Amino acid sequence: MVAILERLDPPSDRRVALRVTNDALRQLRSGHPWLFDRSITSGKTAGKAGDLAVVFDGERRFAAIGLYDPRSPIRVRILHVGRPTLIDGDWLADRLADAVDRRRSLFGTSGGIDEADGGPVEHDQAHPTTAYRLVHGENDGLPGLVVDWYSGSAVVKLYTAAWIPWLPSVVAGLSVATQRSDLREAPGVLERVVLRLGRSIAGSGPPGIADGVVLAGPTLDGPVEFFENGLPFTADLAHGHKTGHFLDQRDNRSLVGRLVGDAVGSGGGHRVLDVFSCTGGFAAHAAAAGADDLTFVDVSERALELARHHVDGAVDSRPRRSGPINGRPEVATVAGDAFDVMAHMAQAGRQFDTVVVDPPSFANRADQVDRALAAYHRSARLAARLVAPHGLLFHASCSARVTEASFLNQIQRGIADANREASVLTVTGHPVDHPIGFVHGAYLKAVALRLTP
Angle separating helix axes 301-316 and 281-288, nearest 10 degrees: 20
Residues 8-46 pLDDT 10s: 999 999 999 999 999 999 999 999 999 999 999 998 778
CATH superfamily of 7-81: PUA domain (2.30.130.10)
Class of domain 247-451: alpha beta
- Cite the DSSP H helix spans in 141-210: 167-177
Dihedral pair phi/psi, residue 198, rounded to 5°: -60, 160
Task: Give backbone dihedrals phi and psi of 384, rounded to 5 degrees, phi first.
Answer: -60, -30
In this structure, is the dihedral angle defined by the CA atoms of residues 202, 203, 209 and 213, taken in order, positive or negative?
Answer: positive
Q: What integer pLDDT is reported at residue 46 of this predicted model?
A: 82
CATH 3.40.50.150 residue window(s) in the chain? 247-451
Over 70: is that where the pLDDT of 94 sits? Answer: yes
**What pLDDT, on a 0 to 100 scale, did the predictor assign at position 180?**
79
Give the three-state DSSP class for 283.
helix
Looking at the domain 89-235, which fold is it? Transcription Regulator spoIIAA (3.30.750)
pLDDT recorded at residue 123: 37
Cβ atoms of 18 and 76 within 8 Å: the answer is: yes
Amino acid at 321: R
CATH code 3.30.750.80 region(s) in the chain: 89-235
Give pLDDT, residue 268: 73
> What pLDDT was estimated at residue 118?
40
The pLDDT of residue 115: 39
Q: Where in the chain is the domain with CATH 2.30.130.10?
A: 7-81
Which residues does 124 contact at the CB level (< 8 Å), separation at least 6? 109, 110, 112, 230
pLDDT of 252 > 60? The answer is: yes
pLDDT in the model for residue 319: 63
Most confident of 84-88, 185-189, 327-331, 437-441: 84-88
pLDDT band at 49; cut points 50, 70, 90:
very high
Nearest-angstrom CA–CA distance, 392 and 128 = 28
Higher pLDDT, 330 or 118: 330
CA–CA separation, 317 vs 332, rounded Å?
A: 20
